[in-house]
Amino acid sequence: MSAAASVSKSNFDTEVLESSVPVLVDFWAAWCGPCRAVAPAVDAVAAEYAGRAKVVKVNVDEEPEIAGRYGVQSIPTLTIFKDGRVVDQIVGMAPQSTISTKLGAQV
């Protein structure tokens, strides 16, 4: 099980846009090999920033409206939100150190 909670259309605004801490959103799909490959790094970053930032996952197959709202055309896409707006993004595979550095810059 992932350290990152899944979010959907019903709770995205509350969990992400209204969050008092920065949020890393992992846009992914079950069939996506690179998404599965980056998942351990995303989980490690979630553990590293527990209490200081949130890490959540959005399955683009189940939540196409959210993916469309933020222009996600390729997965994995890791989007960092702060104060309800997008402040950074990583498209494609990235090492844990890169993900951690980008999220850490917003904490």
Q: What would the pLDDT profile of 51-79 be if each residue is shown by its tens digit?
A: 999 999 999 999 999 999 999 999 999 99
Q: Is 32 marked active-site?
A: yes
Domain that holds residue 14: 5-104
Residue (of 96, 81, 106, 105) closest to 48 by Cα position? 96
Q: What is the pLDDT of residues 71-104, one digit of tens each?
A: 999 999 999 999 999 999 999 999 999 999 999 9
Task: Spot the catalytic one: 24, 25, 35, 94.
Answer: 35
Helices (H), 1-107: 12, 33-48, 64-69, 96-104
Please give the residue that has the higher pLDDT: either 17 or 4: 17
pTM reported for the whole predicted model: 0.96
Domain count, the chain: 1
Q: Is residue 1 very low, low, confident or very high in pLDDT (cuts 50, 70, 90)? A: low
Q: Which of these is catalytic: 32, 45, 60, 99?
A: 32
> For residue 79, what is the domain's CATH number?
3.40.30.10
Active site residue 47: no
Q: Residue 6 gets which letter from DSSP?
A: E
